[in-house]
Amino acid sequence: MTHPIPNVLTIAGSDSGGGAGIQADLKAFSALGAYGLSVITALTAQNTRGVTAVHTPDASFVKAQLDAVFDDIRIDAVKIGMLANANVVRAVTAALRRYRPVHVVLDTVMISKSNHALLAPDAVAALRDELLPLATLVTPNLPEAAALLNVAAAEDEDAMVRQGGALRALGARAVLMKGGHLSFADSSDWLIEDSGVLRLGGPRVPLKNTHGTGCTLSSSIAALLPQRDSLATATADAKLYLTGAIERSTRLEVGHRVGPVHHFFRWW
C-alpha cells in the first residue's frame, strides 16, 4: 500500500534571513519528503547578525490561520516554534484541543542565538501549563528546560536526564533534551519516553553555521514521525539529517556571522 505524502504544519515565527523559523521548517519538511504548511505567529527582522525587531500579529489572526488550515487539509503532524506571547500560546492550545492532530512537536523557543527574547515572560507559564501537556514531544535546549522548571541549567548528562523526566512529569508524552550547550566533544541528546531513556550521541561539528539548528531538528522530527515506526527512529534520523546539514553548511555564503545550515545538502 502506498502511503500519502504527509502534510506537516509549522506554527512559528518568520525569519527574514531565511535560516530559522518558518523558513527553516518548510525547507526541512521538503528535504524529508513532507508537504509543508504554515501558520505565522510572529514576524522578525533578522539576519545572521541577530534580531532587530519583532512584530506579533493579533491572536485572532493566528486563530484564523489555524482554522483555515485545519478546516480544509489533513494534518499529519504539527511543529510549534516561536509563539511570542500568552495570547498566541492560548490560541494555539485551543486549536490543538479542537482539531487533535496525531503528532505535536513543541520546540520551546524563548531566546534567539543573538540573545533576543522571543517569548514574553507571561507566556512561559502558559506554554508550560497549557501547551506542553498536549505535546507528543518537547525539544528544549538546556537553558529553555531550566527556565520551564525554574532551576539551574544542566551541566552534565545526568542532570539532563533528570530535568527531562521532570518536564515529562508536567504532561508531555516525551522530551528530547538537547545537549548542544554542553562543552563536551560529543554532542549528545537524550530522549525520555515512558518506555525509558535513549542516548543519541553524535559528533560536535566545529562550524559557525548553526543558525536555525533547533528549528530544523524539531521540524525534521515532525516531518519524519508520520513516516517512521517510532518516535525514537524519527528522532535519530532527524539528528543524522541535521548533522549532515551542519557539516555541509560551508557550501553556503549567507551573511557575515552565524549562518544557516544547508537544508538541501543532499541535492545541491
Show which residues are catalytic: 178, 210, 212-215
Residue 43: beta bridge partners? 14, 55
Q: CA 157 → CA 42, 121, 180, 182, 242, distances in Å? A: 33, 27, 11, 9, 21
Main-chain phi, psi angles of 59, to 5 degrees: -60, -30
Contact 178, 217 (CB under 8 A): yes
Identity of residue 73: I
SS3 262: coil
- Please, where are the H alpha helices in 100-195? 121-126, 142-149, 157-168
Residue position matching grid coordinates 478546516: 71
Query: What CA–CA distance (Å, rounded) separates 13 from 212?
Result: 12
Main-chain phi, psi angles of 206, to 5 degrees: -85, 60
Contact 13, 21 (CB under 8 A): yes
